[in-house]
Amino acid sequence: MNELEMLKAASTRLTQDYPNLKLLILFGSRARGEEDPSSDWDFAFLSEHDRPPQSQLYWFPASNLLNALCKILQVSDETIDLVDLSTCSDILAHFVARDGQAIYEKMSGEFAQFQKQALKTNAQLKQYRHAQREKVLETLKRWAL
């Protein structure tokens, strides 16, 4: 059983520790099959509720999810990056949608719905890159470089 299959099989344990979980996606090098022994684990998630249950730390609502992932993967929390898709940038959401592998969907089709919403067209990506380039040039002008 590969890591992706193992994570999918263990996803029911995740929902016991984090019942508000709506969608969990593996992205980055491991999702693309380009990992090496030093690669970290990149996960993105969506939750049903904005407010964490009382058992969760108020400053990190997904702490239960992080702890559950650490147990399943038998790694420290320093090797897992966890992104909340409800608060991340549009460009990060695009790359999660493009390269990600769904680990858990509360309802069938959640990942496809997220992809439909988050994926950008080539024209939108070009516009984003242009806007970022302009911001860099403006900053360099302010710094007189």
Residues designated as active site: 40, 42
Strand order in the sheet with 101-105: 80-84, 41-47, 21-27, 101-105
Tell me if 103 sits within 8 A of 110, measured CB to CB.
no
Say which residues have a Cβ less than 8 Å from residue 91's Cβ, sequence separation at least 6. Answer: 120, 128
Tell me if 29 sits within 8 A of 98, measured CB to CB.
no
Cα distance between residue 59 and residue 113, in whole Å: 28
Q: What is the sign of the dihedral through the CA atoms of 18, 110, 28 and 59? A: negative
